[in-house]
Amino acid sequence: MYLDAAKKQEIFEKYGKSNTDTGSPESQIALFSYRISHLTEHLKLHRKDYTTERSLTKLVGKRRALLDYLKRNDIERYRNIVKELGLRK
């Protein structure tokens, strides 16, 4: 599997408050971003995999909703996570 428990722990430790912080918006956005990049690479090879394409679209929507939530409630945290992940250009 492309995403094992150790990789998840690493993501949560880097972007969350601790390695067990799985609920903060920053850690969830980072996890979604990792999954989105993996699915994007998969779709480059398998163009007609429509189920994966739909899953990718749903993940992007979830990440967008979390980013909107952060932007509304704490603009500094929003700016930090966008800068760390390189989401805006």
Average pLDDT for the chain: 94
Q: Considering the domain 24-85 in this protein, what is its CATH number?
A: 1.10.287.10
Put simply, whether the predicted model's pTM sits higher than 0.85 gets the answer: yes
So where are the chain's domains?
Answer: 24-85
The 10s digit of each residue's pLDDT in 51-74 is 999 999 999 999 999 999 999 999
Sign of CA dihedral 57, 62, 65, 66: negative
* Contact in structure between 11 and 21 (CB atoms under 8 Å): no
DSSP structure string for 31-78: HHHHHHHHHHHHHHH-TT-HHHHHHHHHHHHHHHHHHHHHHHH-HHHH
Does the pLDDT of residue 89 top 70, yes or no?
no
The CA–CA distances, whole Å, from 84 to 6, 22, 33, 53, 74 equal: 21, 18, 11, 26, 16
Residue 1: pLDDT band (50, 70, 90) is: low
Q: Quick one: tokens of 24?
A: 């903060």
